[in-house]
Amino acid sequence: MPELPEVEIITRDLRTRVVGRTIRRFRASWKRQIKPNITVVQRALQGATITQVTRRGKWIVFHLGGRNRSIGVLAVHLRMSGRILWESAADEEPEHLRAFWEFDGGGRLLFCDARKFGRIELIPTMNELDRRLGLEPLEPTFTVSALRALFSKSARKLKPLLLDQTLIAGLGNIYTDEALFRARLHPLERTDRLSDTAIRSLRRAIVHVLREAIQNNGTSFDEVYPGGRMQQSLRVYGHEGQPCRRCKTAIVYFRVAQRGTRICPRCQVPGVEPTSSISPQR
Ligand SMILES: [Zn+2]
């Protein structure tokens, strides 16, 4: 599933293609993916101009204008298998096409989704999307004190909290495992017991791994997201059974809240605090 870095790369690409373009029509063949419903979305989009494309968590947000009124934002979540493709005239229609946007002056944006978990949602204001989502890890608001406030509210386990999009938006399974490894924290550590030093290490590890992933064009996985290079820099994800690059202990796999999880059992020990000198590079 695309996480923050992959969605960021997709968003940047879309920005160069569709900002300033006016939508002639929008069509969808799998209507259950469209909210509030296909009729409302079609009516809103017809004749609307895309004024900007941004990312919020794992959502791609098309800001809409035109016809002298604000229409709101169109938010797209790719979930497991969603893809957005710019159609070039020579291409054959791709598999699993569920929806498309057709633009004045030509060109179509295609939404393909084999597993149909993706969502296309018309939302009245950006504030409403903000209300549903937590901190943005690459914004200045992602501070040690903001994390401390989230962590001390309840006695939750670390990894499930990091995956909770209403608290921190954009992390998924890959980058959560990678950040925890780099910060030397166990995924089942209780968040209310973390010291400020541990939180500082974790914050740095999250920011570092996400930035590194964006620089590497994200992590490739099958045909859903090709072209990334970050898989070459992952330390634990996909490395189960292989030696930890710090201590040579074999990386182990287990499940945390139904999610496959990889750790080094020697570097990530519950109750053992990381030292402040850790470099997030390692
Ligand atoms: Zn290790």
Chain segment 19-37, per-residue pLDDT in tens: 999 999 999 998 999 999 9
- pLDDT at position 204 is 98
Where in the sequence numbering do the catalytic residues fall?
2-3, 58, 259
pLDDT value at residue 74: 97
Q: Is the pLDDT of residue 219 over 90?
A: yes
d(CA 45, CA 75): 12
Residue 41's pLDDT is what?
96
Q: For a pLDDT cut of 70, what percent of the chain falls above it?
A: 94
If residue 111 lies in a helix (H) or strand (E), which one and from where to where?
A: strand 108-113
Q: 179-189 pLDDT, tens per residue?
A: 999 999 999 99
Query: pLDDT tens-digit profile of 63-121?
Result: 999 775 678 899 999 999 999 999 876 668 888 999 999 999 999 999 999 999 999 99
Q: How far from 174 is each of 177, 179, 272, CA to CA, in Å?
A: 6, 9, 23
250 Cα: distance to centroid of ligand 1 (angstroms): 8
pLDDT given at position 92? 80
Cα radius of gyration rounded to whole Å, the chain: 20
Tens of pLDDT, residue by residue over 224-280, are 898 899 999 999 999 999 999 999 999 999 999 999 999 999 999 998 877 654 555
CA of 240 to the centre of ligand 1 (A): 12
What is the reported pTM?
Answer: 0.95
State the virtual CA torsion across 222, 252, 245, 242 in degrees, nearest 10: -60
Stretch 159-182: mean pLDDT: 98
pLDDT at 105: 93
Measure 182 CA to ligand 1 centroid, in angstroms. Answer: 10
The predicted structure's pLDDT at residue 250: 98
Dihedral angle over CA of 168, 170, 176, 179, nearest 10: -90
pLDDT at 70: 72
Q: Is the pLDDT of residue 147 over 90?
A: yes
- Whether the per-residue pLDDT at 206 is higher than 70: the answer is yes
Compute, in angstroms, the gap from residue 194 CA to the centroid of ligand 1.
20
